[in-house]
Amino acid sequence: MNQVTEPVVPAHAIPRVAPAPQPPAVRRRWHQLNAPMQDWAGRRVWLVGASSGIGLACAQALRAAGAQVIVSARQPQQVQAWAAQDAGVQWMALDVTRADDVQAVAQAILAGGPLDLVVYCAGHYKAQRATALDLPQMLLHNEVNYQGVLQVLAAVLPAMLAQQQGHISLISSVAGWSGLPNGLAYGPTKAAMSNLAETLYVDLQDQGIGVSVVHPGFVATPLTAQNQFEMPALISPATAAQEMLHGWARGQFDIHFPRRFTLWLKALKLLPYRLYFPLVRRFTGL
């Protein structure tokens, strides 16, 4: 895993943004677990691990909706060029496996004003089965997919709690719902993320902080490009981003898509194991 060579940006390098007038509060209905986020004008959003795939598409969609976006990842890819052309986009290099850098970058961002939304998009995936267990790869999955989000939470939660505002959204995966072939390293880390999101919601629902968890199905990203099988209900990152914005606008906690695929997986998980395991083998061929 490549390490970031760019220096961490000091707090004084980020101009402090005057808080934009907050849009009128949208009344939460009985079925909404979070306050709906519909008006993005002037809102500050930090997307961690968003230089490609779903994260980048989400950053672009939020910016198009009027949000001020801060994008962090190990490699800039096309984000730096975008940030150079748009004052509403900031790029800050970050490797989530380096705790000191996470704290420093978060402090620099918070010095520019409060965050309305933090989206953890960082992820690592390499297909693996128990018949070829690769311990270093399994530990790397855990370091990026789960420990990384803990580093970010430790860096931003104190400020959010002090301000009694903000929203945290974790991008998990349907692979975290149940055990699936090739998911030996990836699936357990996503299951941990989903459980973490549920616990965060329980603890923060009366603190003015929203929490949501995103469970995408198959999305055409650099991570899924390595799959050697036909991916059902494959969607584009742009479609995934719109589904996320739609879920936030509706105040959802569990944002899963595409539903023609995810609802089938949810139903599958309800089956007893004596039916679940044979069906998984039948439909995956593994």
Catalytic site positions = 186
The CA–CA distances, whole Å, from 57 to 60, 63, 244 equal 5, 10, 10
Give yes or no for a contact between 71 and 52, defined as CB atoms under 8 angstroms apart: no
Tokens of 167: 């929203």
Q: Can you tell me which residue has the tokens 């965050």? A: 115
Diameter of the chain measured on Cα atoms: 59
Task: Determine the Cα–Cα distance for residues 117 and 63; give it in Å rounded to an integer.
Answer: 13
Tokens 């941990």 locate to 192
The neighbouring-strand residues paired with 214 are 171, 255
Closest to 244 measured CA to CA, from 47, 25, 20: 47
Q: How far apart are CA 45 and CA 30, in angstroms?
A: 26
* Cα(74)–Cα(65) distance, integer angstroms: 25
Please identify which residue in the block is written with the tokens 């089956």.
271
Query: Two tokens at 25?
Result: 């509060």
Burial of 180 (0-12, 13-18, 19+ CB in 10 A): middle
112-148: b or e for each residue (b if 16 or more CB lie within 10 Å)?
A: bbbbbbbbbbbbbbebbeeeeeeeebbebbbbbbbbb
